[in-house]
Structure 1
Amino acid sequence: MSPEHIGFALLILGIFLLLGKWIRMRVELMQNLFLPASVIGGFLALFLGPGVLGRIAGNFFGEDSFWITGILTEEIMEVWSSLPGLMINIVFATLFIGTVLPGLKRIWNVGGPQLAFGWSLGWGQYVIGLLLALLVLVPFYDMPPFVGALIEIGFEGGHGTAAGLQETFADLGFPEAYDLAVGMATVGILSGVIIGIILINWGVRRDKTKIISNVKGMSAMKKAGIVEEEDRNSGPEKTVRSESIETLTFHFAIVGLAIFIGYLLLEGITWLEAALFGSDFMTYVPLFPLAMFGGLAVQFFVDKYDKHRLVDRQMITSIQGFALDILIISAIATVSLAVLGEYLVPFLLLALFGILWNVFGFFVFGPKMLPDYWLERAIGDFGQSTGVTATGLMLIRVADPETESPALEGFGYKQLVFEPFLGGGLVTALSAPLVFQFGPIPFLIFASVMLLIGLLMGLLYFGRKKAE
């Protein structure tokens, strides 16, 4: 991949962001749905890429046609597919830079309910999936029991985890599980975005949201996503002189330092674990939770030594918003829409029951577990549990565009415990081999116990605190 290909792919991504913004400004339906330009542009790119336009063109002009990839080249799609994994590190690294560092009490109070809610949704997917496998998929479709784990693998693990388990599925004697897992990841992202937007709009119209309200009273400018001229401020402060370093460049370097610290932490812990215990637990942990620790380390240093207040929170927030927009549009644009064949009915059953469980959890557990801003907070975990972390972040951005609620903060705290296990972590990676090795019943019992712990913590501990 040449630098020219990378640069050109980023330019095209920018054009789709502009088209998304133009459509948001012109189409009232998009305004009423509160769709960000990144989501609109992402779906536009998805439709014009190999997944939709390319497939249609292939049917008419053949597999060797110039239009087989739509209007987007393979090089563009390759660059875009790498962006979500990079941008999510920036999003989490910027969570605490320029803010007052939270104490352990706040982390527990804000992140605890999110952890209990997300933990319940994640382990519940294993329970639902394994029950479905034991009662329907194994006896009627002659499939191995570990296919019950594909709901969590596809929904929370996403395409990356599914791709990483391709050889594992082959070793377990059912390589078709790879196509099912990728299909689950695709359905998860699409349903997460679509159903998530529907849930946010339901919440707005039923006065369940605290951030977005009074839709009928919104001005046309606000619906279009434009700040009124009289409400515009000067934006982020210039904290350094341009002849030394541009303010944006300085803050971007600060964010880069936070991510690098997270990388060193991950590499150090991985090496130490291998040297002391001979295990590889930390190799399954993604970088972005450690990037958040890097941001905490940077902010600790800033609190102590930044006497001239060089770090501006507004500038950091702008960098975070930029990364989120790039993450969202590239994640949606590169969704795979490969058609599933032989196992279509089992696939649809897994997807349907997984979605129903997440929707049930959103409506039943969300209001009872989350102490405040329940919809803004629950929508992020719904998005992650249906379509990976990026979907959760996107839905939080729709429900809370100015980060006025603790939704993003609590979502970030939750990842510290959640990600090493679920959502692409150790349990996600090892679930299929564990079911294969020890059988579905022991894993089902274990998943049920984990689900029960999440429900008890959420409903009886955090739920009672809310009632008080």
Structure 2
Amino acid sequence: MSPEQIGFALLYLGLFLLIGKWIRMHSTWMQNLFLPASVIGGFLALLLGPEVLGKILQNFTGEESFWATGILTTEIIEVWSALPGLMINIVFATLFIGTVLPNLKRVWNIGGPQLAFGWTLGWGQYVIGLLLAMLILVPFYDMPPFIGALIEVGFEGGHGTAAGLQSTFEELGFPEAYDIAVGLATVGILSGVVVGIVLINWGVRKNKTQMITDVKGLSPTQKAGIVEVEERGEGSKQTVRPESIDTFTFHFTLVGLAIFVGYIILQGITWLEAALFGSDFMTYIPLFPLAMIGGLIVQIFISKFDTSKLVDRNTITSIQGFSLDILIASAIATVSISVIGEYLVPFLILALFGIAWNLFGFFVFGPRMMSDYWFERAIGDFGQSTGVTATGLMLMRVADPEMKSPAAEGFGYKQLVFEPFLGGGLVTALSAPLVFMWGPWPFLIFSILMLIIGIAAGLFYFGKRKIQQ
């Protein structure tokens, strides 16, 4: 493959993202669903690629025809297929760079209830998934036991985590798990948004919300995904002079350094494991959770030595957002519909039970674990547990447009403890290899214990007291 083909594939993906944004701006239906342009553009590319349009045209032009892959060439699909696994490293490397940790007491008081609630939903997904695997999917559909981990991988981890685990699934002997996980991530985002908006409307009608009385209060500009002119801030700051290095370039080098540190850690522990134990478990571990650790290490050094305040969190967030848009669009565009069709019943079982568990948690645990602003808090964690962090943030913004409740602050504090483990963290990355290496029962028992801890902390500690500032 030539450099020109790689470059064109990237430019072509940008075109679909642009079209996705245009559709979002001009489609009332898409606006009401709050679908990101990356999801819209990715679906459009999927429909116009080899999985849909290509298979239709093959009936008329033959399998060897230029049109057999739709309007996407084989080279474009090959490049796009590699992008999610690369971009997820950038997304996770940026999680801690430029952040400032608040004092632990405030984190505990404000974020603790949402941590207990999110912890319960996340570990519950493993419990439900592994039970489904052992009782139905393994004996009746001849699937590997680690298929039960895909609810949490797809729903909370999202497209990025699924993409990051693609090579792991191949090493574990069931590469089809990647397409199933991406499909679950897509269903998760869609159901998270749709069901979340339905829940907000229900909350308004039943007087469960404290911050809004009408979901229709959002302006057309807001629904189109455009920031009002008078609300536009300065955005990223120029922290270095451009004649030395561009600010964006400087921040990107920090992200690259974080990924490199993560790579060194991964290689080190892989070598150490082989030298001490003669095993190869760490070879199943993807890079992205270690890139997150690398970002944390880089931030520690920044906090101690960046006396000139060169690191701007907004710029890091822009790098993260850019990478996530590329990741989501390319992951959806290259998903194998035929694989999902082959495992349609297991796929639907995992998706439906995953959504049902999240709804159960929202209605049963939400109001009992969070003693004030429970709806505004719980809707964000429902969104994340169904359709990744961005969905949770979006639903919280709809339920609390001016961010006057403690929901957003508590959600952010919760992430500091939650993300390193669940939602794409170390547990998410290790779950499938652990089930593969040790069998499903040890991980199921551990998941049940973690679920009990989350429920107990939420119901009997945080649920019994008012939030302390």
TM-score (norm 2): 0.80
Using a 3 Å threshold, how does the CA distance of structure 1 residues 356 and 400 change in structure 2: closer, same or farther?
closer
Match of 1:334 in 2: 334
Match of 1:388 in 2: none
Match of 2:420 in 1: 416
Query: Partner letter of residue 151 of structure 1?
Result: G
Say if 2:192 is the partner of 1:196.
yes
The answer as to whether partners of 1:87 and 1:327 remain within 8 angstroms in 2 is yes
> In 1, Cα distance between the equivalents of 2:421 and 2:23?
39
Return 250-259 or 279-288, whichever deviates more.
279-288
Using a 3 Å threshold, how does the CA distance of structure 1 residues 102 and 257 change in structure 2: closer, same or farther?
farther
> What's the CA shift string for 1:253-284, capped at 9, x where partnerless?
12222222222233233333433444444444
Query: Partner letter of residue 261 of structure 1?
Result: V
| Secondary structure, counterpart of 1:424 in structure 2 | helix
- From 178, 181, 184, give the equivalent of 1:185: 181
The answer as to whether partners of 2:380 and 2:393 remain within 8 angstroms in 1 is no
| Deviation (angstroms), 1:138 | 7.0
| Deviation (angstroms), 1:337 | 0.7
Unpaired runs of 5+ in structure 2?
A: 155-161
Query: 1:163-174, aligned counterparts within 5 Å?
Result: 164-166=168-170, 168-169=172-173
Return 51-60 or 413-422, whichever deviates more.
413-422
The answer as to whether partners of 2:192 and 2:391 remain within 8 angstroms in 1 is yes
The answer as to whether partners of 1:16 and 1:42 remain within 8 angstroms in 2 is yes
Using a 3 Å threshold, how does the CA distance of structure 1 residues 368 and 76 change in structure 2: closer, same or farther?
farther
| Deviation (angstroms), 1:196 | 0.9
Match of 2:237 in 1: 237
TM-score (norm 1): 0.80
> In 2, Cα distance between the equivalents of 1:211 and 1:303?
36
> In 2, Cα distance between the equivalents of 1:292 and 1:224?
32
Query: Partner letter of residue 75 of structure 1?
Result: E
Match of 2:385 in 1: 381
> What's the CA shift string for 1:357-376, capped at 9, x where partnerless?
34433443455456773222
Query: Partner letter of residue 295 of structure 1?
Result: G
> In 1, Cα distance between the equivalents of 2:112 and 2:455?
12
> In 2, Cα distance between the equivalents of 1:215 and 1:89?
36
Return 306-315 or 193-202, whichever deviates more.
306-315
Query: 1:94-133, aligned counterparts within 5 Å?
Result: 94-102=94-102, 116-117=116-117, 119-129=119-129, 131-132=131-132
Query: 1:166-315, aligned counterparts within 5 Å?
Result: 166=170, 168-169=172-173, 179=176, 181-182=177-178, 184-205=180-201, 206-207=203-204, 215-315=215-315
Match of 2:147 in 1: 150
Match of 2:83 in 1: 83
The answer as to whether partners of 1:184 and 1:347 remain within 8 angstroms in 2 is yes
Using a 3 Å threshold, how does the CA distance of structure 1 residues 376 and 211 change in structure 2: closer, same or farther?
farther
| Deviation (angstroms), 1:121 | 4.1
The answer as to whether partners of 2:122 and 2:385 remain within 8 angstroms in 1 is no
| Deviation (angstroms), 1:116 | 4.8
> In 2, Cα distance between the equivalents of 1:443 and 1:101?
32
Query: 1:318-357, aligned counterparts within 5 Å?
Result: 318-338=318-338, 344-345=344-345, 348-357=348-357
Match of 1:173 in 2: none
| Secondary structure, counterpart of 1:416 in structure 2 | coil
Using a 3 Å threshold, how does the CA distance of structure 1 residues 118 and 76 change in structure 2: closer, same or farther?
farther
The answer as to whether partners of 1:211 and 1:400 remain within 8 angstroms in 2 is no
> What's the CA shift string for 1:261-314, capped at 9, x where partnerless?
222233233333433444444444433333233223333323332232222222
The answer as to whether partners of 1:236 and 1:315 remain within 8 angstroms in 2 is yes
Return 357-366 or 51-60, whichever deviates more.
357-366
Match of 1:172 in 2: none
| Secondary structure, counterpart of 1:303 in structure 2 | helix
Match of 2:157 in 1: none
| Deviation (angstroms), 1:198 | 0.8
Return 331-340 or 24-33, whichever deviates more.
331-340
Using a 3 Å threshold, how does the CA distance of structure 1 residues 72 and 123 change in structure 2: closer, same or farther?
same
| Deviation (angstroms), 1:65 | 2.6
Using a 3 Å threshold, how does the CA distance of structure 1 residues 216 and 199 change in structure 2: closer, same or farther?
same
> What's the CA shift string for 1:194-222, capped at 9, x where partnerless?
10111332244335789998542332222
Match of 1:52 in 2: 52
> In 2, Cα distance between the equivalents of 1:428 and 1:271?
21
Say if 2:15 is the partner of 1:11.
no
> In 2, Cα distance between the equivalents of 1:6 and 1:308?
38
Query: Partner letter of residue 265 of structure 2?
Result: L
> In 2, Cα distance between the equivalents of 1:293 and 1:200?
32
> In 1, Cα distance between the equivalents of 2:32 and 2:168?
39
> In 1, Cα distance between the equivalents of 2:265 and 2:110?
25
Match of 1:431 in 2: 435
Using a 3 Å threshold, how does the CA distance of structure 1 residues 20 and 162 change in structure 2: closer, same or farther?
closer
> In 2, Cα distance between the equivalents of 1:57 and 1:368?
54
| Deviation (angstroms), 1:460 | 3.3
Using a 3 Å threshold, how does the CA distance of structure 1 residues 244 and 184 change in structure 2: closer, same or farther?
closer
Using a 3 Å threshold, how does the CA distance of structure 1 residues 60 and 119 change in structure 2: closer, same or farther?
farther
> What's the CA shift string for 1:53-109, capped at 9, x where partnerless?
122223343322322222112222222222222222222322332232355666666
Using a 3 Å threshold, how does the CA distance of structure 1 residues 429 and 362 change in structure 2: closer, same or farther?
farther
| Deviation (angstroms), 1:347 | 5.1
> What's the CA shift string for 1:337-359, capped at 9, x where partnerless?
11567765455444433443344
The answer as to whether partners of 2:434 and 2:443 remain within 8 angstroms in 1 is no
> In 1, Cα distance between the equivalents of 2:58 and 2:370?
48
Identity of aligned residues (%): 58
The answer as to whether partners of 1:9 and 1:80 remain within 8 angstroms in 2 is yes
> What's the CA shift string for 1:392-437, capped at 9, x where partnerless?
1442453367997243563353232335764231x322425644xx
User: How many residue pairs end up in the alignment?
Assistant: 444
RMSD (Å) for aligned C-alpha atoms: 3.6
> What's the CA shift string for 1:9-39, capped at 9, x where partnerless?
1111111111111111111122222222222
Using a 3 Å threshold, how does the CA distance of structure 1 residues 284 and 374 change in structure 2: closer, same or farther?
farther
